[in-house]
Every structure is written in structure tokens, then in C-alpha cells.
């Protein structure tokens, strides 16, 4: 009887394993024959993990603004600082040779803005000037890198600001991560109380309201699904090679559970719509796989 019971209890695990193998095969079918390296990681309910091409250093691009946000909120939390605290931005802070809705709205600079609003521009609008202003406030990228390591992260590097990344094409590779490392950070943020609820809710809403990357992870998901995400996209070199096209996010399912997902595209010679469609298609099949689990 014992042997029968052991065999019987192993069936659900074997079935799930087979299903995950099928999901991985579907993901690989989306990325096969593409002129790019694509990495994927998914963590469902803090337990079930799937990875594809994870053992590669992927340029983070603006995905690192999520990492920056975590370090900033930890600093604010530890120092009992309000998100309403003001910073003064000079005209020299409003660089017009970079992506910046903030500079479009305040081309002359010389204005006060709350840290909360700066963070919203950084995360929701992927504003490069806002990100660099916050890094100036945080004394550079080192504090972000060090804080993430206290959370257990290892396979990543955050060493360049947006201004530094733009100085030459190869600088795009200075900030990197593996897909699983990014998905684990998302999972820690969603499931752990790493800072006060007020800050956590603020960042969740900022990611849910993200105005960039709408053609990536969230493109084909049902409108009622809560997804918060941070996309990232690099420039191309003279040969048309794109260093990075990424999106990471958390998804709350109808069953009340959630998963974290990270999709990174490295060194792509595909066009931007093809890159985005790969991410969107991967996101769609992952959602369909887990929505009824």
C-alpha cells in the first residue's frame, strides 16, 4: 500500500512538470530563429519558477529604474522622509538630448518638485532626467547596488546613470542583470514588507500606471488584470544592433495569486515591433498557463 500511495502522490508533480516543459517549449518556439538573445524568468506564487536562457548578462536599460526606486524608498523609509520632500532642479538638470517629458514641461529648469513626483516621472514615464536627479540626490548608483545586495541579489550590476549610459554605445552593458534576478527582486517587493506600506503602494501604482512599453508585457492581457511593469529599451549601434529591449513586471491573477515575470532581449537585429511582439507573446502564454492554477 505504501508504494501505491507514493506513486499516486507523485502524479500531480509529474503532471505539473510536464505542463511546465510544454510552456517552456512554447516560449522557445516564440524566440527561435530570431536574430536576438532572449531570456525569460517567471516566479509563480513565490514557489514555482521557470527560466529560459537565464545564464547570460542582459543589459538592463531603463528596467534599472525599478531597482533605483527600491533603493530610494528604502532610504526614505529609514530616514523617515516624506515623498512630499522637495528637490530643486536647475536648468542644467534639464538635458534636452535625452528622453525626458519633465524637460519638455520645464525646459528652463529652476523649479522645485517633490521626490514622489520625481519618482513617478522616473518609473511611470521612464524619464531620464528625473532618474539622474534622483541619483544625484542618492550620491550616485553605489547606494542602489549596495542596497540590492542586502536583499540577496548577486547576479546584477548597477553602476551607470542614464547620462553615463548615453555617452557611448558600449556603456549600455554596464548595468546588467539575469532574468531570474530581476524576477526575484519583483517577488521580494510584492511579497515582503521591505519598507512601509505607503511607499510600497506608491511604487505599485507607479508601475501600474506605466506609460512606456504598452506593447510589451501588458499588450494582450485582459484589461481588468492588474499588472505593474517597467520596460527598458536601448539605442542601436551603426550596424543596427540593439543592446536591449526589456520588460519586467508583476501580475495579479483572478485566483488572487500573483507571478513575477522578466523578459530581456539582448543584441537584437530584429526591429522594435518584432522585439515587442516577442515579449507580448511570451507574456500572453505565461498568463494563460497560470491563470487557472
Q: Which residues are catalytic?
A: 62
Pairing of strands 242-252, 226-233: antiparallel
Q: Look-up: residue for cell 539605442?
A: 235
**What cell numbers appear for 134 in the block?**
534622483
Backbone phi, then psi, for 199, in 5-degree steps?
Answer: -70, -40
Q: For residues 233 and 281, give the distance between their C-alpha atoms in angstroms, rounded to a whole number.
A: 18
Three-class DSSP category at 129: helix
Q: What is the DSSP string of 14-44?
A: HHHHHHHHHHHHHHHHHHTT-SSEEEEEEEE
Contact 144, 129 (CB under 8 A): no
Helix (H) or strand (E) run with residue 198 in it? helix 197-208
- Locus of grid cell 536562457: 53
**Strand arrangement of the beta sheet that strand 242-252 belongs to:** 48-52, 37-44, 258-268, 242-252, 226-233
Which of 177, 118, 113, 116 lies closest to 145 in space, CA to CA? 177
Amino acid at each position: 500500500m505504501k508504494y501505491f500511495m507514493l506513486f499516486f502522490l507523485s502524479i500531480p508533480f509529474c503532471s505539473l512538470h510536464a505542463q511546465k516543459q510544454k510552456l517552456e517549449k512554447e516560449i522557445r518556439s516564440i524566440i527561435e530563429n530570431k536574430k536576438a538573445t532572449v531570456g525569460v524568468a517567471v516566479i509563480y506564487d513565490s514557489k514555482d519558477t521557470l527560466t529560459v536562457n537565464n545564464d547570460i548578462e542582459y543589459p538592463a536599460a531603463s528596467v534599472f529604474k525599478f531597482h533605483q526606486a527600491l533603493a530610494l524608498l528604502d532610504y526614505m523609509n529609514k530616514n523617515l522622509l516624506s515623498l512630499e520632500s522637495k528637490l530643486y532642479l536647475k536648468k542644467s538638470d534639464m538635458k534636452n538630448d535625452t528622453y525626458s517629458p519633465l524637460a519638455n514641461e520645464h525646459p528652463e529648469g529652476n523649479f522645485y518638485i517633490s521626490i514622489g513626483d520625481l519618482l513617478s516621472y522616473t518609473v511611470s514615464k521612464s524619464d531620464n532626467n528625473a532618474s539622474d536627479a534622483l541619483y544625484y540626490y542618492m550620491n550616485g548608483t553605489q547606494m542602489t547596488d549596495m542596497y540590492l545586495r542586502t536583499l540577496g541579489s548577486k547576479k546584477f550590476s548597477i553602476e551607470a546613470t542614464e547620462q553615463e549610459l548615453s555617452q557611448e554605445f558600449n556603456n549600455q552593458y554596464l548595468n546588467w542583470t539575469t532574468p531570474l534576478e530581476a524576477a526575484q527582486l519583483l517577488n521580494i517587493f510584492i511579497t515582503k514588507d521591505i519598507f512601509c506600506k505607503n511607499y510600497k503602494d506608491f511604487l505599485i501604482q507607479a508601475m501600474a500606471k506605466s506609460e512606456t512599453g504598452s506593447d510589451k508585457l501588458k499588450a494582450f492581457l485582459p484589461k481588468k488584470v492588474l499588472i505593474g511593469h517597467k520596460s527598458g529599451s536601448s539605442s542601436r549601434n551603426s550596424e543596427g544592433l540593439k543592446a536591449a529591449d526589456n520588460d519586467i513586471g508583476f501580475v495579479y491573477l483572478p485566483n488572487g495569486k500573483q507571478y513575477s515575470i522578466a523578459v530581456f532581449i539582448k543584441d537584437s537585429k530584429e526591429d522594435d515591433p518584432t522585439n515587442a511582439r516577442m515579449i507580448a507573446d511570451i507574456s500572453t502564454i505565461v498568463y494563460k498557463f497560470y491563470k487557472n492554477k
